[in-house]
Copies of this chain bind each other. A is one copy, B any other.
Amino acid sequence: MSRLTHTDEAGAARMVDVSAKDESVREAVARGRVVMRAETLALISQNKAEKGDVLAAARLAGIMAAKRTAELIPLCHPLPLSAVAVELALGDEAVEITATVRTTGRTGVEMEALTAVSIAALTIYDMVKAVDRGMRIEAVRVVRKSGGKSGDFAQD
């Protein structure tokens, strides 16, 4: 098992020091999906959900949440995001969510991309939960990361 060099011996939480890192352009892409019944997907595609336009709301909620990641995740560094996009696609059994986040900063933006996906997913859930109680949020993960010293990364 990897031994972490910066570990506080007592295991106390702290924000890792990034002041020695260089500022560089960093990007992360995260994905996830909200699995639901076909009828619920139809409701969304026809924009007939009780609370209104589901996809527009999810997109905006995801973007806004990305900007507040450092408030929500205790040890995240605040970062000046230079771009956030949330894309939504209706599949056969799920709404597929992709979030892309970019910054020029001293640490990466995976958490921002994952937070955008998670809050977009919760917003979709909220807007159609009155008609579908069995929804599940699945497969929230980072699919691509670039910039920074730890090297680029990609997975499905």
Interface residues of A (CB under 8 A from B): 1-8, 11-19, 25, 32, 39, 42-43, 47-53, 55-57, 59-61, 63-65, 67-68, 70-88, 102-106, 110-111, 114-115, 118-119, 121-123, 125-127, 129-131, 133-142, 145, 153, 155
Contact present for A78 and B75 (CB under 8 Å): no
A17-B83, A59-B12 known; A137+B118 contact, CB < 8 A: yes
A65-B72, A126-B111 known; A4+B49 contact, CB < 8 A: yes
Contact present for A12 and B53 (CB under 8 Å): yes
Contact present for A106 and B77 (CB under 8 Å): no
Contact present for B125 and A114 (CB under 8 Å): yes
Shortest 6 CB-CB contacts between residues of A and residues of B? A13-B52, A17-B83, A56-B56, A19-B82, A137-B140, A11-B47
Contact present for A63 and B14 (CB under 8 Å): yes
Residue of B nearest to A84 (CB): B15
**Max count, chain B CB within 10 A of own CB: residue among A13, A59, A142:** A13
Pairs A–B under 8 Å by Cβ, sample size 18: A7-B49, A11-B47, A14-B52, A18-B82, A18-B83, A19-B83, A52-B59, A56-B56, A61-B73, A61-B74, A64-B71, A73-B119, A73-B123, A75-B123, A111-B126, A118-B137, A121-B140, A134-B155
- For the complex, give the distance between the alpha carbons of A39 and B114 in Å: 22
Q: Which B residues touch A14, using CB under 8 A? A: 51-52, 59, 63, 83-86
